[in-house]
C-alpha cells in the first residue's frame, strides 16, 4: 500500500514534470508548412530569400514576387506581390494585397472583419483587398461562403463568380433583390448578388407579389429565428418591382440611388473591375456588389510564385 502511494506520488511528480516540459514545447509556435518564393520576402520582419519553414503566427510580407505556401494540412496558398498576411494552421489573416487558396476545405481567410470559407475540398479562390475597406472574393473552382464578424453568412459565391464586399460602419437597412416565393407559408427571397436567402415579413401582404422580381429594403429582425432555408428575417419597409438587370461602368453605383452603403461597394469595385449597379446588396451590415464578368473582370494573381526556384 505504501509502495503504491509512493508510486502514485512519483507518477504525479513525473506527470507534473512532463506537463511543465510540454508546456515549454507548446509555448513555441508549431511548424505549419513551407514557404517558397522566387525572390526575397519578409518573415516576422526578417528578410529571407528562396524558402523557409512556416510557423504558426508568422507574418509574411512579399515584395515584387509572390510566395507559395504549402501547409501541412494540404492547403496551398499563394500570397501575391506586395501583400502581407499572418499565417496559422487553419487560417490566414490577410492584411494587405491578395491571396489565392487551393485545396482549402477547413481553411479560412480573414480580412477586414470578414471570413471566407470554401464549401468543398477542391475549391480554389482568390481574396483581394482593394482600397481601404473592401474585400474581393473570386471563386475560381468550387464555391465559397463569406461570413461577417458575427459569424453570419453574408454571401455564397458560386464557381466562376466574384464579389466585392464591404463591411459597413453602421448597420443600415438590408437591401436584397430577387424573385419572391412562398414556401410553407413563409415568404422567401434569394438575393441575386449574394445568393443568400432571406425570409420576409411585412405589415402589408406580399401575396400579390409572389413570383415577381423585387427590390426589397427593410430591417433585420435580430431576435426572431427565420425559417430554416433563410439566414435572416427581414421586416420589409419597401418592396418594389426590380428593374431588369443592367450593367453600367464602375462608379455609376453612387448615382443609382442605392444609398451610401451600396454606393460604397460599387465604388469599391471600381478599381479595375466593373460592377452591376443593379446587383448591389446589403446583408447583415455588409454591402456586396457582383463583379461583372466574374473572374474575367477580377483578373488573375499576377506575379505569384507558380513554382519554386531558388535564386
Does 171 engage in binding with other proteins (CB under 8 A)? no
Q: Which of residues 182-211 bind other proteins (CB under 8 A)?
A: none
Q: In angstroms, give the least distance from the CB of 80 to other proteins.
A: 15
Q: Which of residues 5-64 bind other proteins (CB under 8 A)?
A: 24-25, 28, 31, 34, 36, 38, 43-53, 55
Please identify, using beta-carbon distances, which residue of 34 and 171 lies nearer to other proteins: 34
Torsion over CA: 137, 276, 254, 219 (sign) = negative
Q: Candidates 18, 224, 296, 309: give the one binding other proteins (CB under 8 A).
A: 309
* Nearest-angstrom CA–CA distance, 133 and 139: 20
What are the C-alpha distances in Å from 296 to residues 162, 278, 305? 9, 19, 21
Q: In angstroms, give the least distance from the CB of 158 to other proteins.
A: 26
Please identify, using beta-carbon distances, which residue of 124 and 174 lies nearer to other proteins: 124
Q: How many residues bind other proteins (CB under 8 A)?
A: 27
Q: In angstroms, give the least distance from the CB of 26 to other proteins.
A: 11
C-alpha cell at 57: 503566427
Q: In angstroms, give the least distance from the CB of 35 to other proteins.
A: 10
Does 311 engage in binding with other proteins (CB under 8 A)? yes
In degrees, rounded to 5, the angle at the alpha carbon of residue 80 between the alpha carbons of residues 77 and 81 is 150
Please identify, using beta-carbon distances, which residue of 52 and 227 lies nearer to other proteins: 52
Please identify, using beta-carbon distances, which residue of 49 and 240 lies nearer to other proteins: 49
Question: If residue 7 lies in a helix (H) or strand (E), which one and from where to where?
Answer: helix 2-27
Q: Which of residues 237-266 bind other proteins (CB under 8 A)?
A: none
In degrees, rounded to 5, the angle at the alpha carbon of residue 149 between the alpha carbons of residues 146 and 161 is 15
In degrees, rounded to 5, the angle at the alpha carbon of residue 248 between the alpha carbons of residues 290 and 140 is 30
What are the C-alpha distances in Å from 118 to residues 28, 104, 143, 158? 29, 6, 6, 10
Please identify, using beta-carbon distances, which residue of 29 and 255 lies nearer to other proteins: 29
Q: In angstroms, give the least distance from the CB of 124 to other proteins.
A: 13
What are the C-alpha distances in Å from 137 to residues 30, 43, 107, 231, 250? 29, 25, 15, 20, 17
Does 308 engage in binding with other proteins (CB under 8 A)? yes
Q: In angstroms, give the least distance from the CB of 128 to other proteins.
A: 21
Candidate segments 98-106, 174-182, 285-293, 302-310, binder of other proteins by CB under 8 A: 302-310
Question: If residue 233 lies in a helix (H) or strand (E), which one and from where to where?
Answer: strand 232-241
Q: DSSP 3-state assignment of 48? A: strand
Q: In angstroms, give the least distance from the CB of 311 to other proteins.
A: 6
* Nearest-angstrom CA–CA distance, 66 and 21: 38
Q: What is the DSSP letter of 194?
A: T
Q: In angstroms, give the least distance from the CB of 194 to other proteins.
A: 33
Q: Are 138 and 203 in contact (CB under 8 A)?
A: no
Site string for other proteins, 74-113 (x = CB under 8 A): ----------------------------------------
Q: Candidates 5, 132, 225, 310: give the one binding other proteins (CB under 8 A).
A: 310
Q: In angstroms, give the least distance from the CB of 134 to other proteins.
A: 30
Burial code (b: 16+ CB inside 10 Å, e: under 16) for 135-145 equals: bbbbbbebbbb
Binding residues vs other proteins (CB under 8 A): 24-25, 28, 31, 34, 36, 38, 43-53, 55, 70, 305-311
Amino acid at each position: 500500500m505504501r509502495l503504491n502511494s509512493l508510486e502514485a506520488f512519483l507518477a504525479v511528480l513525473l506527470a507534473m514534470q512532463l506537463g511543465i516540459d510540454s508546456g515549454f514545447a507548446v509555448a513555441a509556435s508549431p511548424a505549419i508548412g513551407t514557404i517558397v518564393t522566387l525572390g526575397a520576402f519578409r518573415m516576422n520582419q526578417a528578410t529571407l530569400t528562396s524558402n523557409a519553414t512556416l510557423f504558426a503566427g508568422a507574418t509574411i510580407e512579399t515584395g515584387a514576387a509572390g510566395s507559395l505556401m504549402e501547409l501541412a494540412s494540404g492547403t496551398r496558398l499563394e500570397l501575391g506581390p506586395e501583400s502581407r498576411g499572418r499565417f496559422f494552421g487553419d487560417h490566414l489573416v490577410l492584411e494587405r494585397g491578395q491571396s489565392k487558396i487551393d485545396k482549402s476545405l477547413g481553411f479560412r481567410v480573414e480580412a477586414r472583419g470578414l471570413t471566407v470559407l470554401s464549401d468543398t475540398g477542391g475549391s480554389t479562390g482568390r481574396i483581394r483587398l482593394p482600397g481601404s475597406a473592401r474585400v474581393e472574393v473570386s471563386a475560381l473552382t468550387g464555391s465559397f461562403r463569406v461570413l461577417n464578424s458575427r459569424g453570419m453568412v453574408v454571401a455564397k459565391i458560386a464557381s466562376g463568380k466574384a464579389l466585392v464586399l464591404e463591411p459597413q460602419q453602421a448597420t443600415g437597412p438590408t437591401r436584397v433583390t430577387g424573385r419572391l416565393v412562398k414556401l410553407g407559408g413563409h415568404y422567401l427571397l434569394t438575393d441575386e448578388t449574394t445568393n443568400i436567402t432571406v425570409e420576409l415579413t411585412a405589415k402589408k401582404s406580399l401575396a400579390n407579389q409572389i413570383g415577381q422580381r423585387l427590390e426589397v429594403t427593410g430591417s433585420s429582425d435580430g431576435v426572431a429565428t427565420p425559417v430554416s432555408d433563410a439566414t435572416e428575417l427581414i421586416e420589409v419597409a419597401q418592396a418594389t418591382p426590380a428593374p431588369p438587370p443592367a450593367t453600367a461602368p464602375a462608379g455609376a453605383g453612387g448615382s443609382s440611388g442605392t444609398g451610401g452603403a451600396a454606393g460604397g461597394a460599387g465604388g469599391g469595385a471600381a478599381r479595375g473591375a466593373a460592377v452591376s449597379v443593379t446587383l448591389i446588396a446589403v446583408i447583415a451590415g455588409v454591402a456586396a456588389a457582383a463583379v461583372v464578368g466574374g473572374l474575367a473582370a477580377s483578373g488573375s494573381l499576377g506575379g505569384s510564385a507558380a513554382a519554386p526556384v531558388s535564386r
